[in-house]
A = this chain, B = another copy of it.
Amino acid sequence: MTPSSSFRPVVEGREAAGVARGLSAEPIDMAGMLAGAHHPGAGAVVLFSGEVRDNNRGRPVSFLEYEAYRPLAEKMIGEILAEAKSRWVLQTAVAQHRTGIVAVGDTAVVVITASAHRGEAYAANRYIIDRIKHEAPIWKCEHYADGTHEWGNNCNCHAVTGDVSKHIYESEG
């Protein structure tokens, strides 16, 4: 196994879409995911869609580009979903994060949870997206209307916690 074959970012190849494992190089089929989330034992389904805004702190954005370190990102998304299922009784817990170019108004990440009651479905949904956003090795590059681009707008928790592995989750505050 050579690094050049095993460590390519997912953006480079269609074969790397990995839809079933949490990363997708293609547009996310949100309606299909939602249709698949119904369960006769689930009274509450919660969907979160993270979408590309037309501005970043007031600067006009043309589109975003997401890059992932694929093997670890997929492993971590799987572990985060499993951890959510161990904390709450969930009939469904799925997540998909885009890689590559995502247009303004399009979906960059979707999380769907289903549970008997809505409290669990909301809490688990929020837990999953917070952890994916802070911890999974997925990065975004803002491409601005003026032609410049910038990697960043990243998690900055380590500036407060003093540890690049320790995060602050608004939902737990």
Contact = CB atoms under 8 A, between A and B. Distances in A.
Interface of A: 30-31, 34-35, 38-55, 104-105, 116, 118-119, 121-122, 125-126, 129, 170-171
One complex includes copies of this chain to the number of 2
Given A118-B129, A170-B119, A44 B49 contact: yes
A142 B119 CA distance: 22
Contact of A51 (B31, B44, B47, B129): B44
Contacts of A48: 44-46, 118, 121-122
A168 to B, nearest CB: 13
A116 to B, nearest CB: 7
A interface SS class: mixed
B47 A43 contact: no
Contacts of A116: 53
Contact of A40 (B31, B44, B53, B125): B53
B50 A118 contact: yes
Q: Residue among A116, A121, A126 with the most chain B CB within 10 A?
A: A126
A50 B49 CA distance: 18
Contacts of A43: 50-53
A38 B105 contact: yes
Contact of A126 (B39, B45, B104, B122): B122
Contacts of A105: 38-40
Nearest to A106: B38
A83 B35 CA distance: 30
Contacts of A45: 47-49, 51
Given A38-B105, A46-B49, A122-B171, 6 more contacts: A31-B31, A31-B34, A43-B52, A48-B122, A119-B171, A122-B126
